[in-house]
Amino acid sequence: MTTPWFEDLDESYQDEAFEALSPAILYRCIDAELAWDPQADLTACYETIVMLEQQVTQLCLQYTDPHQCLEELLDMFYQHWLFSASSLKVPEYTLNSFSYTLTMRSGTQTTLAILLSHLLQHAQLDATVCLSQGEVHLHVAISDEEGYLIEPSSGQQSWYIIPENASEENGDEQEPLELVFDEEVFKLFLAQQKWSFISENKFAHALHCVAMLMELIGDDPYERRDRGYLLNQLDCPKMARDDLQFFVDECPDDPAIEIIQHQIEEIEDNNKTHH
């Protein structure tokens, strides 16, 4: 009898194993909403995740082959649960919220990729959020030589296998793929949410995203630049000027430096006018 890759263990042991495997990134992304919406009730989000995980567990016990299990899990995610990109005119910052994604079964490529990655990892599949040609995708490695690239909005998948005689030269011709691990996924989520807030002039909300990003990466000049822009929009000119000047000092060769310097001059001129 073939030993399944998903070990047929007793239920209590499985729960402990899944709890250890379950990445905290999804929960950090969900909890981040409380930063810009303290009144948000996230209870339903966690209840939904538990329900989805339980169904994943049951499905995995029926299939021993990882290819087949992946196929069944994707079918359940997109055909049974009906997760997809939205066809409605919904602001991106809403689509990029997990409370919306889990309730409405609709989201951005980023939220769908993070959620699907979490559920596939729950199934003990080697799933990782990745960037392919600048777009967020999901990579599922079956072995060192084969795996799948999944488009998270539709579930469309591409299977690949690396030939044994593949040379490094041939490898360089393949489509570039950047795997995004752990905290980098959280940064990716926050950065996308920041820009979606900015595009809708929700500057205070975007400022919370910048604050969380700076907690992770420190005094980054580009986050200081964005914070300066947001503070200026929120009528905090002195702090805005300090942040923008920091960016100019740290990144004098940036292509946007003249625009930033012009913003500093405008802040100084306005400050003189008010005095």
User: For position 33, what pLDDT does the model report?
Assistant: 96
| 58: Cβ contacts below 8 Å, ≥ 6 apart | none
Task: Indicate whether 1 belongs to any domain.
Answer: no
Q: What is the DSSP letter of 126?
A: E
Q: Are residues 54 and 176 in the same domain?
A: yes
- Token pair, residue 42, equals 């996230």
| pLDDT for position 20 | 36
Whether residue 2 is contained in a domain is answered as: no
Listed residues 155, 183, 211: the one ending a domain: 183
Same structural domain for residues 155 and 198? no
176 and 199 co-located in one domain: no
Would you state the pLDDT for residue 95? 95
End-of-domain residue from the set 165, 183, 201 = 183
Residues of the chain whose pLDDT is less than 70? 1-23, 164-175, 272-275
Asked whether residue 26 falls in the same domain as residue 160, the answer is: yes
Identify the domain containing residue 63 by its residue range: 11-183
Residue 148: beta bridge partners?
A: 140, 159
On whether residue 3 sits in a domain, the answer given is: no
| Co-location of 144 and 240 in the same domain | no
Q: Which CATH number characterizes residue 255's domain?
A: 1.25.40.10
Q: Which residues contact 185 (CB under 8 A, 6 or more apart)?
A: 25, 29, 114, 117, 129
Same domain, 144 and 249: no
Considering the domain architecture, whether residues 76 and 134 belong to the same structural domain is answered as: yes
**Domain assignment of residue 104, yes or no:** yes
Do residues 127 and 228 share a domain? no
CA separation for the pair 37, 30 (Å, rounded): 11
How many distinct structural domains can be found in the chain? 2
What SS3 class is residue 132? Answer: strand
pLDDT at position 273 is: 60
Q: Could you report the per-residue pLDDT of 41-100, keeping only the tens digit for each? A: 999 999 999 999 999 999 999 998 999 999 999 999 999 999 999 888 999 999 999 999
Give how far Cα 36 sits from Cα of 73, 74, 108, Å.
Answer: 33, 32, 19
Distance, in Å, from the CA atom of 158 to the CA atom of 94, rounded to the nearest integer, reads: 29
**Residue 152 in contact with residue 108, Cβ under 8 Å?**
no
Residue 147 lies in a domain: yes
Q: Which residues contact 74 (CB under 8 A, 6 or more apart)?
A: 150, 155, 157
For residue 125, is it within any domain? Answer: yes
CATH of the domain at 94: 3.10.620
- Residue that is last in its domain, among 183, 214, 234: 183
Per-residue model confidence (pLDDT) at position 42: 95
* Shared-domain flag, residues 179 and 211: no
Alpha-carbon distance 197 to 206, whole Å?
A: 5
Residues 193 and 75 in one domain: no
Largest CA distance in the chain: 84
Q: How far apart are CA 21 and CA 157, in angstroms?
A: 24
Q: Which amino acid is at 187?
A: K
What's the pLDDT score for residue 165? Answer: 62
131 class by beta-carbon count within 10 Å (0-12 exposed, 13-18 middle, 19+ buried)? middle
Q: Is residue 96 part of a domain?
A: yes
